[in-house]
Amino acid sequence: MSYYSLISLMPKTPAIDPDASAFLTAAGITSPTITSAINTLVLSFKSAGVWTKMRAIYPLVGGTATTHKFNLKDPRDLNAAYRLQFFGGVTHDSNGITSNGTNAYADTFLNDLTHLTNTNKSISMYIRNVLTVGSPMGIINSRGVVSNRFYPEFLGLDYSTLGLAQSGRSIAGPQKGFFTLSKSVSGSFKYYRPGTAAITVLGTNQSNLNANYYLLGSNNMGTTEFSLANLAFASIQESLNDTEEANFRTAIIAFETTLSRNV
């Protein structure tokens, strides 16, 4: 048998997408399970047509601050690449990042005013625990006249709002899993929650805020509001339509399942 015939019989290592590879190299991750999960995630985003819409993708894999900080879309170790910076008592493990509820948050360096368009933005998170107070992600201005944040529960209502004044609505579906707020039209946003149909919320349109998105807490523009959240994924992107959100959700749930941290 010739040399070339032997080579053709050798098992082939599946090719890793270059964007997945760049992230894994930056984070120093060599685990085969995480490598496969990240590669599949990137390929799923690309085939769903959402990769080009993403501004920041935080897969929160590898179990340390140094592996969790990287943005999959642009894995340079720079604020300009929306690399996370962690403050206060954040716990890092294979389930992602968990706040102590006292003083912990992560700054994304992604500014709502300068990096996003008013009617073309969305934020997503995979939260592994139920919160009854506190915001796991976002920005709110003084007195809540403009809110761009998840707030899954306060006194029995869900106050998650994007680009409008903060308002409450009935809690529906499980309070953990994958959530998206998406705004593509002035004066309304769409809210996608696990286990229940998406809803459209209407209100007076509000301008974008000149402040960075935070994870594990909300940036209250001068102060920080903390939570006890355990996040296993977060992202900030252009607005998603129903089909894109459904494909995005499917990819994230598969990703969390591969990593055995789905809830």
- Residue 69 engages other proteins in binding (rule: CB under 8 A): yes
Which of 16, 43, 81, 165 touches other proteins (CB under 8 A)?
A: 165
Phi, psi of 87 (to 5 degrees): -130, 145
- Residue 167 engages other proteins in binding (rule: CB under 8 A): yes
- Decide whether 201 or 251 has the Cβ nearer to other proteins: 201
String of contacts with other proteins for each residue 231-260, x by CB under 8 A: ------------------------------
Spatial separation of the C-alpha atoms in residues 208 and 120, rounded to whole Å = 11
- Residue 225 engages other proteins in binding (rule: CB under 8 A): yes
- Decide whether 88 or 194 has the Cβ nearer to other proteins: 88
Number of residues lying near other proteins (CB under 8 A): 32
Which of 29, 40, 79, 88 touches other proteins (CB under 8 A)?
A: 88
Spatial separation of the C-alpha atoms in residues 174 and 162, rounded to whole Å = 20
Which of 8, 28, 33, 89 touches other proteins (CB under 8 A)?
A: 89
Spatial separation of the C-alpha atoms in residues 214 and 226, rounded to whole Å = 10
Give, for 40, the enclosing helix (H) or strand (E).
helix 32-47
* Relative orientation angle of helices 242-258 and 32-47, to the nearest 10 degrees: 170
Give, for 57, the enclosing helix (H) or strand (E).
strand 54-58
Phi, psi of 201 (to 5 degrees): -110, 130
What residue ranges bind other proteins (CB under 8 A)?
65-66, 69, 85-91, 100, 102-105, 133-134, 140, 143-145, 154, 159, 165-168, 203-204, 220, 223, 225
